[in-house]
Amino acid sequence: MNLLQIGFGREDFTPTEFPISNNSTRYVTEVGDSIFASCLALRWEDLTVLQFSLDLRNLYDKDYARVLAVIAEKTGIPPECILLSATHNHSAPDISLNDRPDIDAWEKKIGLPAMCRAAERALADLAPVTGAEGGRAETKKLSFVRRYFREDGSFYGIASPKSTSPLARSESRADPELRAVRIHREGKKSVVLVNFQTHAASGQGSHPTQIHADFVGELRKKVEADGESLLMYLQGACGNVNCNANLPEDREGWPGDCFHIGRKMAEDVAFALENAKPLSLDRLVLIRDELTCRVNHKKTHLAEIAKEIQKNPDKEERKKMMAEAGIENRYEVSAIIKRSAFGETRQMPLSALILGDLAMGFAPVELFDTCGKEFRDASRYPMTFFCGYTNGSHSYMPSALAFPNGGYEALECHYVPGTGEMIALKLLEMIHRS
């Protein structure tokens, strides 16, 4: 007899007061579509796990600790049994800015209460699992690697120096594989878990003045249109991969806005499930561990200068100060200040969740898709997910091969090259312990 029970809860946490801070640098003024806190409750004998998927950009460490404490107290579920994942939605309130009155009010009045209600709904909705199947689909024109080489051999990415040389080739090929699992429950709607790796739209193609759930919102509507399914989207390793709503318009494959991406992704989910194979969900195991990561202290001796640059209100003076100090841009200024506060190493919390034939690895990073693919493909389980943006945020995590090319992601990374591969290997070891 299958002893696994699964419950599902979802609560709307769309803001009702505007303008509200969004993604640190801009304000949104209207609702384009609702955003939600989704929660999966999993129970096997005396173990209960809450797994969240939040339509937010991410939860930085301080935000994660604050939110976790409230949910644990409200539900009675131990903090170590709660997984808080974000979809990396850039069109939601930026919870990291809770020192601002607009975000503080949203979090206290709407955000946190909704997360707690979603968990309570999931626990009340627990029902025995009666079967499951999982499938894969190779997506077409949903995502692209946003890092390029130009015809003159120079590198192009976010925050790269301007150049008139045309783009020649991508740094790597985006992992196109989408994975989906349908879980059937006794007397309840089935739960569909989707794992894919593409950055939310930002700027072009994202309706930047509106609150919405990006492509996840449209995906959710399409998958749930049958009236028999509930969707949970788990964001994968997309530190170097954008959805095609952000594809430069002169590149082949321009497909439309982020909502179009969601509709196309729903077609791939349908294909994956139509061609799915049975999965046995005959156990529930949660493993928590830590990885000791070596901090990249490159240029942290310039921390005091970086702080002076950051405080200077004059843009031209900041540029001059950066040039004199050998600091590339404002992103490196911020990264130097952050890394200077760390010791030689930091502990990174990792989690593994095993549901019989389905294994999931969770990390608090924006991992490059090459590392996520290494983890998923090397697993011995019939179905394996990598889930980023979970239980904190430890920055971008480029692959060792991508690091020397530079770019925004390498500047923002807190750790030495090779850490991304170490995360993949550690998670592999964790899921194969039992």
Q: Residue 428 carries which side chain, given as an amino acid letter?
A: L
Angular region, 59: left φ>0, alpha ψ -120 to 50, beta rest = beta
- Cβ count near 27 (within 10 Å): 13
State pTM to two decimals: 0.95
Q: How far apart are CA 252 and CA 317, in angstroms?
A: 40
pLDDT of residue 154: 93
Q: How far apart are CA 337 and CA 22, in angstroms?
A: 23
pLDDT of residue 203: 54
pLDDT tens over the chain, length 434 residues: 568 999 999 999 999 999 998 875 578 889 989 999 999 999 999 999 999 999 999 998 889 999 999 999 999 999 999 999 999 998 899 998 888 899 999 999 999 999 999 999 999 999 999 999 999 999 987 899 999 999 999 999 988 888 899 999 999 999 999 999 999 999 999 999 999 999 988 655 567 788 999 999 999 999 999 999 999 999 999 999 988 766 544 444 444 578 888 999 999 999 999 999 999 999 999 999 999 999 999 999 999 999 999 999 999 999 999 999 999 999 899 999 999 999 999 999 999 999 999 999 999 999 999 999 999 999 999 999 999 999 999 989 999 999 999 999 999 999 999 999 999 999 999 999 97
CA distances from 389 to 45, 150, 365, 396 (A): 28, 31, 5, 10
Cα angle 239, 208, 210; round to 5: 120
pLDDT of residue 127: 98
Q: Which of 182, 195, 146, 185 has its CA nearest to residue 167?
A: 146
Q: Which of 225, 224, 38, 233 has its CA nearest to residue 121?
A: 38
| C-beta separation of 2 from 42 below 8 A | no
pLDDT of residue 249: 46
pLDDT of residue 202: 62
Instruction: Return the percent helix, strand and coil in the chain, to nearest 5.
Output: 35, 30, 35
3-state class (DSSP) for residue 77: coil
- DSSP 8-class letter at 357: T
Greatest Cα-to-Cα distance within the chain, rounded to the nearest angstrom: 70
- Cα 430 to chain center, whole Å? 20
- Cβ count near 153 (within 10 Å): 8
